[in-house]
Amino acid sequence: MELRVEGEGADSYEEVMLIYNSALKQIQTKLEILNDEFQHVHNYNPIEHIKARIKTPQSIVNKLKRHGYESTLENMVKYCNDIAGIRIICDFTSDIYRMADMISNQSDIKVLAIKDYIAHPKPSGYKSYHMIVMVPVYLSDRIVDTKVEVQIRTIAMDFWATLEHKIQYKFTGDVPQQIADDLLNCANMVSALDDRMLYLNNEIQEISVEEHHPA
């Protein structure tokens, strides 16, 4: 099944994808600049690495179908908020909220929605910080405001989420209870690990400050 384009030129889908790709490039550049600035000012990088992806046509069609929409280009742009997705991987949970604040403070980025699955994890144990943002894409003859989904998580959260995604795909959403329980236990261990690593990092920072500024 493919997306149906009604009343549009033959290259409309390609043009829309170009715009989503451009939005990804723009926000990725912003994030790299913010990371470089943070390194310059604080001698520390809050971003471990960045992953960017564009949803495949089949994934878009499947999502529209699940929500009861026809597979048209118009519905794709209107109802799919995660066609362009960028994932920011941080070392510590404190970095997640720091990055969210820095993104929100960008004057040309509009935050449309936030889902804090760190403060309120999903029943499966999934934890991540999600934002839907609007990014202006500057073309030769117009500006197109484009939605991008931003996910921010720690390395440990990302490792867990990657495994959960593989399991959900293998069992098509109907995961055996024992595996679901084990996943939830792992999520609790990941949360405890993140808390402990943040505590250790704070201890190291305090010792470093004391060494440079003894009483």
Question: pLDDT means per 10 residues in the chain (215 residues)?
Answer: 42 87 95 93 90 93 92 91 96 94 95 97 96 94 94 97 90 88 95 95 80 61
Interatomic CA distance for residues 50 and 61, integer angstroms = 26
pTM, full prediction: 0.88
Residue 72 CB-density burial (10 A; 0-12 exposed, 13-18 middle, 19+ buried): middle
User: Tell me, what's the pLDDT at 187?
Assistant: 96
Q: At CA 134, angle to CA 3 and CA 67, rounded to 5?
A: 40
Token output for 112: 């449309």
Ranges of each domain in the chain: 12-156
User: Tell me, what's the pLDDT at 44?
Assistant: 85
CATH code assigned to 12-156? 3.30.460.10
User: Tell me, what's the pLDDT at 214?
Assistant: 61
